[in-house]
Chains A and B, each alone.
Chain A
Amino acid sequence: ATLCFQAFLQMCNLPIRVICRANAEYMSPSGKLPFIHVGNQVVSELGPIVQFVKAKGHSLSDGLDEVQKAEMKAYMELVNNMLLTAELYLQWCDDVTVEEITHPRYGSPYPWPLNRILSYQKQWEVRRKMKAIGWAGKTLEQVLEDVDQCCHALSQRLGTQPYFFNKQPTELDALVFGHLFTILTTQLITDELSEKVKNYSNLTAFCRRIEQQYFEGQERDSAAIAAPSSKRSLLR
């Protein structure tokens, strides 16, 4: 999810600095990651951040008409509904993955026994949520099938265009990029999830294009410039 924000802010041409903190969830006003810290304001979650950035005068979706905006919101909900839930499911409800990867990673900043307690607590929370929305009864195959359906829909919508809505990137592009890139590059026990995404060549090309355009440029810039204060920076 962090990647969605970075992509979005890059697309708006706003320079940012990424900091990793163990207690980030507690620093965030809504308990959700990631959040941005601008001057003396703290804003978290994609929706409020987009609105905040819009209020400051940068918006990516101004060129869309009403029907396209409706479509964009609908696709963002689809991504949140399917991809995000599938990622959560895979991380917390698939026993093998939980044991081998999630528990160690989630609990790593803390000493024993806090790491085990916190990760079990989070797991219990996620499983409760899955049960409430009806995903608890799903097997891994069904979840993968849902992801496949979602990717198929995204692939159809993208077609051969460079971005989802003509030539300009929008919030939807940032969101999709964040999720797909995470799926493609995260190491899991099995590669089935990333295989599903790799089946759609236009989606992988889309990810690569955005990475090259917005992220490799940033690395070159930060290596070249010695004094960051000389850059116009909105975010500390």
Chain B
Amino acid sequence: MAAPMELSCWGGDWGLPSLHPESLTVMAYAKFSGAPLTVNTINKSWRTPKGDLPVLVSEDVVISQPAKILNFLRKQKYNADYDLSAKQGADTLAYIALLEEKLLPALLHTFWIEAENYCSVTKPWFASRIAFPLSLYLPGKMSREALNRILLTKGGPPLYSLTEVEAQIYRDAKECLNLLSKRLGTSQFFFGDMPTTLDAFVFGFLAPIYKVCFPRVHLQEHLKQLPNLCRFCDDILTCYFRLAVSGHSPAGQDTADANLQKLTQLVNKESNLIEKMDDNLRKSPQHPPRKLTTLKLAAGGEESSPMSRLSP
């Protein structure tokens, strides 16, 4: 039906399909809308596109920013916002602007500018995914771009030093998280029961903060105090990405399911057998009691051994 679509983006770790917020947003949207995307994670090959990731390639069309990719998917009839009213669509735009203005600077800071985080986690991780010698240059470039962006958009007077800017952006980010938590309340997704574009964006921004293990984590600690947002991320990961919170692979999960099914079937069969035997016994009470006990023990034995064989 539609042309095959390939998405190139940064890979994942710590239970996430991707560490990069924008890649994660696009992947989440594709899952929500059912778009058949083949995801290629960047790993040490020279085919790394020079531009920004994520990049969607479909036939001859190459699209690079998340908003444009989502527009393209919608035009291909993969629309997760189908049930939204016009006002909810307007709210979506507003909340996305809020995320970009208030949360993104702090996210960029935590990943790329905070010295401990950058040196011990971000730089090695990204460098290991990029081919040499680009791995020496590209993480540094991404870090400089992030710093530039933060200073140019948030760093004007009266904030004159980097520490003041940092304090301000973390204050803004915590306020933004509080606002999101209030807006989500107790519902499963932001607009009812079905996930939409806004859920994809919020998930894309929150999940890296929530899951990646950094040495300096005060934003993560703040997020963990908002249980509805944590539950929101976990739900999306388990339902749509099948990488369970505990980190089992999909194959392991399936085997466990199959085992459980087999076990249930066997137990049912055994209980049916036992019922039949009971019926027989009742119908023919002249059987000696010794045989009765033997039968019961045998039934008990048969019942317990399959369970012990299949327990994980």
Q: Hey, which bits of chain A sit against chain B, CB under 8 A? A: 29-32, 66-67, 69-71, 73-75, 77-78, 80-82, 128-129, 132-134, 149-150, 152-154, 156-157, 159
Report Cα–Cα, A67/B89, bound state, in Å. 17
Q: Which of B87, B97, B156 has the most CB of A within 10 A?
A: B97
Offer 19 A-B interface pairs, CB within 8 angstroms, sorted by A: A67-B185, A70-B182, A73-B179, A74-B94, A74-B95, A77-B98, A78-B93, A81-B97, A129-B153, A132-B145, A132-B148, A133-B149, A152-B90, A153-B89, A156-B86, A156-B87, A157-B87, A157-B91, A157-B94
Among residues of B, the one whose C-beta sits closest to the C-beta of A32 is B156
A-B contact count (CB 8 A): 76
Report Cα–Cα, A80/B172, bound state, in Å. 15
Contact A30 to B158, CB < 8 A, known contacts A77-B102, A153-B89, A159-B87: yes
B76-109: which residues lie under 8 A (CB-CB) from chain A?
Answer: 86-87, 89-91, 93-95, 97-98, 100-102
B168-196: which residues lie under 8 A (CB-CB) from chain A?
Answer: 179-180, 182-183, 185
Report Cα–Cα, A149/B96, bound state, in Å. 13
Q: Top 10 closest A-B pairs, CB basis? A: A153-B90, A78-B97, A74-B94, A70-B179, A156-B90, A81-B97, A74-B98, A78-B94, A156-B86, A77-B98
Report Cα–Cα, A85/B149, bound state, in Å. 14
Report Cα–Cα, A149/B65, bound state, in Å. 17
Report Cα–Cα, A159/B91, bound state, in Å. 13
Q: Is B252 an interface residue (CB 8 A)?
A: no
Asked whether, in the complex, the Cβ of A77 is within 8 Å of the Cβ of B101, the reply is yes
Contact A75 to B94, CB < 8 A, known contacts A132-B148, A132-B149: yes
Q: Is B157 an interface residue (CB 8 A)?
A: yes
For B239, list chain A residues within 8 Å (CB): none
For A133, list chain B residues within 8 Å (CB): 149, 152-153
Contact of B94 among A69, A77, A129, A159 (CB under 8 A): A77
For A67, list chain B residues within 8 Å (CB): 182-183, 185
Among residues of A, the one whose C-beta sits closest to the C-beta of B101 is A77
For A132, list chain B residues within 8 Å (CB): 145, 148-149, 152-153
For A82, list chain B residues within 8 Å (CB): 97
- A32-B157, A74-B179, A132-B152 provided; 18 other pairs, C-beta below 8 A? A29-B157, A30-B158, A31-B156, A70-B179, A71-B94, A73-B179, A74-B95, A82-B97, A128-B152, A129-B153, A132-B148, A132-B149, A133-B152, A153-B89, A153-B93, A156-B87, A156-B89, A159-B87
For A129, list chain B residues within 8 Å (CB): 152-153
Asked whether, in the complex, the Cβ of B93 is within 8 Å of the Cβ of A150, the reply is yes
Interface of B, secondary structure class, is: helix
Among residues of A, the one whose C-beta sits closest to the C-beta of B146 is A132
Among residues of B, the one whose C-beta sits closest to the C-beta of A75 is B94
A83 CB, nearest partner CB in chain B, Å: 10
Asked whether, in the complex, the Cβ of A71 is within 8 Å of the Cβ of B102, the reply is no
B106-165: which residues lie under 8 A (CB-CB) from chain A?
Answer: 145, 148-149, 152-153, 156-158
For B89, list chain A residues within 8 Å (CB): 153, 156
Report Cα–Cα, A66/B87, bound state, in Å. 18
Report Cα–Cα, A31/B94, bound state, in Å. 27
A199 CB, nearest partner CB in chain B, Å: 15
Asked whether, in the complex, the Cβ of A77 is within 8 Å of the Cβ of B97, the reply is yes
Contact A153 to B149, CB < 8 A, known contacts A31-B156, A32-B156, A67-B183: no
For B182, list chain A residues within 8 Å (CB): 66-67, 70
Report Cα–Cα, A129/B151, bound state, in Å. 9
Report Cα–Cα, A69/B98, bound state, in Å. 13
Asked whether, in the complex, the Cβ of A31 is within 8 Å of the Cβ of B157, the reply is yes
Report Cα–Cα, A30/B164, bound state, in Å. 14
Among residues of A, the one whose C-beta sits closest to the C-beta of B95 is A74
A44 CB, nearest partner CB in chain B, Å: 8
